[in-house]
Amino acid sequence: MEEKDIQAKQKLMNVPESGNGLTKSQLESQQQVGVSYWSLVKHQFKKNKLAVISLYIVITLVFLAVVADFLASSKPLYAVYNGTTYFPVVKDYLNDFGISKWEPDMINANWKQLDNENKLESVIWTPVPYGPREIDLSNSLNPPGGDHYLGTDPIGRDLLAGLIHGSRVSLAVGFVAAGIALLIGIVLGSIAGFYGGTVDIIIMRFVEIMMTLPTFFLIITIVAIYGSSIWYIMMAIGLTSWTGDAKLIRGEVLKVRNMEYITAANSIGLPNSQIIFRHVIPNAIAPVLVSGAFAIAGAILTEAALSFLGFGVAATTVTWGSLLNEARSASNAWWLAIFPGMMIFIAVVTYNLIGEGLRDALDPRLRD
């Protein structure tokens, strides 16, 4: 182990270096707070450079998704028109939340036309001055460069604006679907593992039945019957992909249940609910979080595949998969295939790398 490593570890474990001249009271104040399991995991995770970089990329993607409207919009951030100052992007939000209302004559104003006709006294556009659904048939299939940084699709929509707004759908699908799957998996898996016996048999047979359902075709069926909506897709992915989590957490709970601290909790007389939530699940959850990270990647991929096939979200919603779909009809427009494909690739790879980093950080055998 390198010297630096040792020092870092000593600092973490609050082990004072020998002969560093600290008085006893100083040592005691250093040792005030204990090192929790999760802070050890965090320390271990940070050693994996690839996983840390992936985490930053994911944080960036989340940031992009949150501020998408401020990065790419068909309305300006700031404009002065007829002596009145407007913040159209902010105003849209306020309007949606019902805090303030657009003036009736301005709600459908075409800001671009006003700008072109030089009617705006002052204007600041978003970095990408196009909305994801802004159709401009005169600019169809523009190659990257020029006004459209990454080019346009067959109906003249800006690709970069589409990618930025598409990250919202992809991330939302990933998090919500994986969240639903984790929630169902943890609840059913820990009940099965903790109570065992008949309860276990019933739940695990149900899991096996669920596992035989082909997720993809189930989603296509749901979309065919109820129409395409991002919510149906999230629900469908979440409701079909929890089986692995349930099996995983059941196995962990079986292991934890036989630990003596659970017997100790029983000897205190704590109710089962308190034992499960405070003592069993926190000790059984770590491997499931790893599978959660992989599940997010899987859900993003499933959504992209559905949108690519045209079964995904409604036609008006732009997603990475639906942009990729455009590339099928325009085989010369390489940018329509490369950029959305790259976004899907980056998202899936980073979630997988985070999952792997988490798995390594949680594995006590890999700790030195």
Partner 1 sequence: MSDILLEVNGLKKYFPIKTGIFSKTIGHVKAVDDVSFKIKKGETLGLVGESGCGKTTVGRSILRLIEPTGGEVIFDGKNITNMPQKELKEYRKQMQIIFQDPYSSLNPRITVGGMLTEILKFHEIAEGEAAEKRVEDLLEKVGLRKIHARRYPHEFSGGQRQRIGVARALSVEPKFIVCDEPVSALDVSIQSQIINLLQDLQKEFGITYLFISHDLSVVEHISNRVCVMYLGQLVEIADRDELYADSRHPYTQALLSAVPVPDPNKKSKRIILTGDVPSPAKVPSGCYFHPRCPKVFADCSTIRPELAGKGDHVQRCLLYPESYPKKSAAA
- Contact residues: partner 1, CB under 8 A: 13, 28, 31-37, 259-261, 263-270, 274, 278-279, 282-283
Q: Assess contact for 211 and 268: CB atoms under 8 A.
A: no
Contact status, residue 131 vs residue 72, Cβ threshold 8 Å: yes
Non-local CB neighbours of 222 within 8 Å, separated by 6+ positions: 232, 236
Question: Smallest distance from the beta carbon of 239 to partner 1, in angstroms?
Answer: 30
Q: Which is nearer to partner 1, 6 or 201 (CB)?
A: 201
Q: Which residues contact 167 (CB under 8 A, 6 or more apart)?
A: 61, 64, 65, 68, 320, 343, 347
Whether the Cβ atoms of residue 169 and residue 190 lie closer than 8 Å to each other: no
By the 8 A CB rule, do 236 and 175 touch? Answer: no
- Alpha carbon distance 187, 245 (integer Å): 10
* C-alpha to C-alpha distance for 108 and 135, rounded to whole angstroms: 15
Task: Please state the closest distance from residue 15 (CB atom) to partner 1, in A.
Answer: 10
Q: Min. distance of Cβ 278 from partner 1 in angstroms?
A: 7
Smaller CB separation from partner 1, 7 or 30: 30
Would you say how long the chain is, in residues?
A: 368
Residue with smaller CB distance to partner 1, 163 or 284: 284
CB atoms within 10 A of CB 60: 13
Alpha helices in 67-139 (DSSP H): 68-71, 88-96, 111-116
Structure tokens at 278: 């405070």
CA–CA separation, 304 and 334 (whole Å): 18
Structure tokens at 302: 């499933």
Name the minimum Å distance from CB 189 to partner 1.
Answer: 18
Which residues, 6 or more positions from 229, have their beta carbon under 8 angstroms from its beta carbon?
Answer: 313, 314
Q: Which is nearer to partner 1, 219 or 275 (CB)?
A: 275
Q: Cβ closer to partner 1: 225 or 268?
A: 268
- CA–CA separation, 293 vs 287, rounded Å? 10
CB of 270 to partner 1, least distance (A): 6
Please report how close the Cβ of residue 190 comes to partner 1 at its closest, in angstroms: 15
Residue whose CB is less far from partner 1, 265 or 353: 265
Minimum CB distance to partner 1 smaller for 37 or for 226: 37
Strand pairing class (84-86; 78-81):
antiparallel
Tokens 């109570």 belong to residue:
195
Q: Which 3 state secondary structure label does DSSP give 72?
A: strand
Q: Considering beta carbons, is residue 72 or 284 the nearer one to partner 1?
A: 284
Judged by CB, which is closer to partner 1: 84, or 263? 263
